[in-house]
A and B are shown apart, each in its own frame.
Chain A
Amino acid sequence: MANHPDQQEHRIVTQPLVGNVDGFSAGKLRGWVHVGAEDDSAQLSLLADGNIVAKVMADCSRPDVARQTGARLECGFEFDLEAIDSPRNQTLSVFHDASGFDFSGERWSYCQSAAAAVAQHVDSLESVFFAEYYRSRYGLEAYSNEKSFQFYVQNGIFRGDDPCPWFSSEFFLEHHAALIESGELPVLAYLRHKHRLDVQPSALFDPRYYATSNPELDENQLLEHHVRHGNRKGHHTIERRIAEPVMQELEEMITIEPSIGLIRTGERSFVRHGFPTATNYLPQLVQRRFGRAIEAIVCVPFVASGDADLIGIHLLRAYQNAYGVERVLLIVTEPSVATLPTWLDQDTRVLYLDNESKFNSHAEKIRTLHDIVGLLAPSRTMNVNSLTAWDMYRKFGRQMMTATELNAYVFRFDQTVEGQPAGYISDYVPDLIGMLANVYCDNQSVIDQMRNLYGFSRQDMDKFNVLYVPGPQNLPRYQTKVNETSGCRKSGSILWIGHLSKQKRLDLLVSIATAMPYQQFIVYGPAGDSPYSDRIIRGEYPNILYRGVYSSILDIDREDYSMFLNTSAWEGLPHTIIQMVGMGVPVVTTTAGGIAELIKEANGWPVENSESVLEYVAQISSVLIQKGSAVEKAENGVTIFAHRHSWQAFCHRVDELGICTENGPIPA
């Protein structure tokens, strides 16, 4: 298309608008732009090789591309690329007509005929696509593997990007031009001829050699095999030989050192470092994405939805307050589907390890995590319940402690079926205490347990400190419902929350419910290993009603309940109990673990003999009968919550412990 008579010299504004071209999809080029003032024109122009080929109006009402960010309205647009009828590659650009905003100077290569072919061969292209290599080579460190592939098929392929190290568009054009049809992309031409062993995709991959070396493989899938498996296994892709002059000198060398002669007859393997595997690329990709200014890293296994594991997020926030959002990184080390709490800064830096690449073993993940931390070089590292991070401490802690402060947050001992201490504390703390700078716990009881069990030195015991988990802010207050005639608390249901596991002693719950048939017990929580789990879920007990799993404690209508009941055999300091106390809900509970630090006679109904069903019944009855006492205890609980488990109390304690101050690493 010739130059449009309206075409003008596009000026670059000093205060450009905000916008982005998201890419190609289904024959369209899509994006969004913030048009600013209401009277600004939203007209955009699409240029191909500098010539205007289409104009559109950004459309705020587009439901598929429009979105709101804070107070801004971003306007979606799309250009229909069907109109660009050319067999050759063209360079596309987009401009906002009124201002000249050129979307940060971005340009896209596009060939209409090739685009259709690409769409037909997406699966084949994906099988030769090495995502981590591609992200590294083409500067897409901020992209996920999936997004990088989308970029490749929507943009990169048209500008000649190589999908993997063993295919080269340049090589293919130079050596196999005769195989490429008019307008065809080199990589698609290769895929058409990949069954031919004489067609090399690059100087680094010889299909004939690869097939000979791996006779069990499908000759139509050789490059695919190497991308997916062969590289990781260290397969050679071309034949390597010792140069003849070197072989000749070998004879002379044998006269100097006879044992060199052994290599002539013995099995000899040829080693040459190939390309990195997928996870090898991660550390540098992460460093390029987050830079070299990270001061603190918090490792968590997953993004918590609302229980005590949220402490990792709270510590993250404390570090952010101290160092700045951009200098703190949260690394989620296990597959996680939850999203970050909305109260975190939207610029919070997060790395989901399992979203970055596929790990072939736990050992590989440990090494990669270490390399990532090593390249980011934070001054302090905090592990909150991440197995991968614990194993990183174990394998590399001796070295890491010389350069970064290693910290951990632990909750409680677990128990084996024989009743022996188990879990992260017993597996890691005794072995690694020498290299840890600080160990934080959510209750004093577990610190005392460790002192008694392990007999740590005073120097090591000084590393342990209680850091209570903050509860949610602005918890609603529970209102006691009282029978106006009797003055007794209205008999609402009794609330029980937790994993339906042996730890939680569902047998006691069933016994209590049996002893109090006129009371209804409501159970929330995921299925577990308790023999009563399935029976409760199936509703086999007339006065125990199972409600499944809730997403937020605030979803539960507290007015329906007269109290919260806990029957756990062992615990740290359950976050659910903290929340109940914060809301002023009466709590009847065992005194396992750290619970006794929170629930006392003054603010709750502790059950000292947790095996006594009668004692549970007595405490439950007390809650129902003693209205005045219940109100007073509830108020006491709210006061304790504010003193120990509010966000302010948490921040004060963080300052008190110097968690975010510059203490520096432990000297070697």
Chain B
Amino acid sequence: MNVSCVINAHQEAHTIQPTIVSVRRAVEFARGCGLKVDVHAVLDSSDSRTKDIVYRELQGFGQVHIVDHGDLAIARNHGVEQSDADYVTFIDGDDLWCRRWLVESYLMATSDERPLVLHPEYNIYFGAESSHVFQHVDMEHQDFDPALMLRKNYWTALSFARREIYQAHPYRENQIENGFGYEDWTWNFETVNAGLLHKVVPGTSHFIRRVKSRTSLLERTDSMGALPRILDLYRGQGFAVADAVKHAAA
């Protein structure tokens, strides 16, 4: 298997349907180009409506995994463990992919021997008054500066990389009540420090929904004053990475 698509869902209800449509579209395009692609939907603490829709839309098309971690980071790790493909890519349960995401990412990843983490060039935020376009920065571009990583998260979590990269660097569990969140920011920082190269796939885009269900985790993270675990002070303490892997394998 070349690529596994991991859909991370919670309680998106009907908003997951366009997600699955966009995933299907991208998968069919990729398969049409000769790629072997499978789909795994990880439903974490999901409600009946979301389950109903996912089972219906993925019937004959992908696998559904029901888990109860209550944490997006652990759910992503779970998705990695379900895959046996060379590459894994993520999408959240109410976002959308562009059609060529899988193909362009695969081509870029396989044409470069270096350990890469790939991101779409554009993140198009929709569904709220503050719709905007967030353009990712390639680490090899001259306006990338690692000093900014302490203050800004350069990339979203919806990445594409070799499966062993996600296995070697599992996402850390959020502990928002204890003041730690932003699992994607933490992951980006750790992988950069580990020598991985985050690059942008030109001409690709993700569409990210900005409505209440989507922002509840982000809102909660912000309102609780949570921090990513990117400072040295916090990276040697707290939730052990081994525990995150254990959760993912359960």
Whether both chains belong to one complex is answered with: yes
Q: How far is the CA of A203 from the CA of B143 in the complex (A)?
A: 10
CB of A2 within 8 A of chain B? Answer: no
CA distance A260 to B180 in the complex (A): 32
B135 near A240 (CB under 8 angstroms)? yes
From residue 193 to 250 of chain B, which have CB atoms closer than 8 A to chain A? 202-205, 207, 209, 225, 227, 231-234, 236-238
Bound form: Cα–Cα A376–B232 in Å: 7
Interface check B121, CB cutoff 8 A: yes
**Complex Cα gap A257–B178 (Å):** 37
Residues of A with C-beta under 8 A to B98: 246, 249, 253
Give the residues from 366 to 404 in chain A that come closer than 8 angstroms, CB to CB, to chain B: 371, 373-377, 395-396, 398-400, 402-404
Shortest beta-carbon distance from B133 to chain A in Å? 5
User: Per-residue CB proximity of B1-33 to A under 8 Å, as 1/0?
Assistant: 000000000000000001001100100000000
Is A270 at the interface (CB under 8 A from chain B)?
Answer: yes
Question: A284 contacts B150, CB within 8 Å?
Answer: yes
Q: Mark A241-283, 1 if CB is under 8 A from B, else 0.
A: 0110110011011001101101100101111111110001101
Q: Is the CB of A259 within 8 A of B126?
A: yes
A273 contacts which chain B residues (CB < 8 A)?
137, 148, 152, 154
**Closest approach, in angstroms, between the C-beta of B224 and any C-beta of chain A?**
9
B231 near A246 with CB under 8 A, answer no
Task: Select from chain B the residue with minimum beta-carbon distance to A136.
Answer: B147
Complex Cα–Cα for A374 and B99 (A): 42
Shortest A89–chain B CB gap in Å is: 24
Distance, CA A400 to CA B121, complexed state (A): 35
Within 8 Å by CB of B151, from A276, A377, A400, lies A276
What residues on B are CB-neighbors of A625 within 8 Å?
none
Compute how far the CA of A203 lies from the CA of B148 in the bound complex, rounded to whole angstroms.
20
Bound Cα distance A269, B232 (Å): 34
**Are A668 and B233 interface neighbours, CB within 8 A?**
no
- Tell me whether A403 and B236 are in contact in the complex, defined as CB-CB below 8 angstroms, given that A203-B142, A268-B132, A280-B147 are known contacts: yes
Choose among A168, A242, A266, A283 the residue that contacts B150 (Cβ–Cβ < 8 A).
A283
Provide the residues of chain A in CB contact with B178, threshold 8 Å.
398-399, 402, 668
On chain A, the residues within 8 Å of B137 by CB distance are: 272-273
Which chain B residues have a beta carbon within 8 Å of chain A's beta carbons?
Answer: 18, 21-22, 25, 96, 98-99, 121-122, 124-127, 129, 131-135, 137, 142-143, 145-148, 150-152, 154, 178-180, 202-205, 207, 209, 225, 227, 231-234, 236-238
Q: What are 13 sample pairs from A and B whose C-beta atoms fall under 8 A apart?
A: A168-B142, A246-B98, A256-B21, A257-B22, A259-B127, A259-B209, A270-B133, A271-B132, A271-B135, A280-B147, A375-B150, A395-B225, A398-B179
**Besides A284-B150, A377-B233, 18 other CB < 8 A contacts?**
A204-B142, A242-B205, A257-B18, A257-B22, A257-B96, A260-B127, A270-B133, A272-B135, A275-B148, A280-B147, A371-B151, A373-B233, A375-B231, A377-B231, A399-B179, A402-B178, A402-B234, A402-B238
